[in-house]
Amino acid sequence: MTKPGAVSRRRLFQGAAAVAGASAGRPEEAAAATHALPLKIGLTSYSMRKQTLDQVIDFCKEAEVRYLNLKTVHLPLTATPEQIQAARSKIEAAGIAITGAGVIGMFNDEDEVRRAFEYARIARLPLLIGGLTLDAVDLVERMIKEYGIPVAIHNNGPEDKNFQTPYDALAAVRKRDRRFGVCMDVGHAVRAGADPVRCVYDLGDRLFDLHVKDLKDRADKQSQIPIGLGVIDVAGLIKVLARRRFQGHVAIEYEMNPDSPTPGIRESLAYVRGAAAAICG
């Protein structure tokens, strides 16, 4: 029996078909369906960390990915202002919006944290996703106020002694500047025992960004699988995000098969887009 409010597999696959028309020779229909979705469904460039920025851009164009979170492998912190501007122009010319950059390590070192904020300023980033230590929280908040650039703390699962779940990040930012929030890594949250659907409600407007992945085994980091084939309730997550009119980036992060990640990324995109189309159509 289907649970009340659940999305049937048939309806989800119908939604997926609606946003995959390009494979049937209807790219204009696929583009229209993708752009009409109520959520900003995109990609972390870390998913293609062994490919060049040009390859990332080409894939995004072909797969109708309009939102991209940049990893520093594709836009290094050491890049010159000219290099940063050239990369940004190239991405924008392809019709891709940069949603932010990260995960960027932020420790209690003012020179290093300032370098990250200067990088964000030059690149005109709307968000920095930070891998923080607890002792860096005061420093990062001070930089947020100085630069006016929001930061989202990324939870890193049970291996991280600082921020295992989104609730750990929420506790650190709850009483701080409103531009200090959380980037929920869905897979890491599940491995640390949190329910991502519940987290969306509990984090409220402190949830700035998501990295979405799926797992075959809730406790095994290496069991990642294309979204929709695992145990995480990604359709339920999409449903609550749409219901709450979430305005941040819902970024696919497919970490497996780094030498050839695009088949898994495509499958993950199709599922998430299908879920959004089925739920909101």
Give the three-class secondary structure for 217. coil
- Please check whether residue 97 is in contact with residue 67, taking contact to mean a CB–CB distance below 8 angstroms: yes
Residues 1-10 have pLDDT tens digits of 344 344 444 4
Distance of alpha carbon 46 from the chain centroid = 10
pLDDT digits (tens, 9 = 90+) for 48-76: 999 999 999 999 999 999 999 999 999 99
Q: Which regions in the chain score pLDDT beneath 70?
A: 1-36, 281
Domain chopping of the chain, boundaries: 30-280
| Nearest by Cα to 209 from 237, 247, 156 | 247
- 0.85 surpassed by pTM: yes
| Cα–Cα distance measured from residue 219 to residue 215, given in angstroms and rounded to the nearest whole number | 9
The pLDDT value given to residue 5: 42
Looking at residue 34, its pLDDT comes to 53
Report the Cα 36 to chain-centroid distance in Å.
19
In CATH, the number for domain 30-280 is: 3.20.20.150
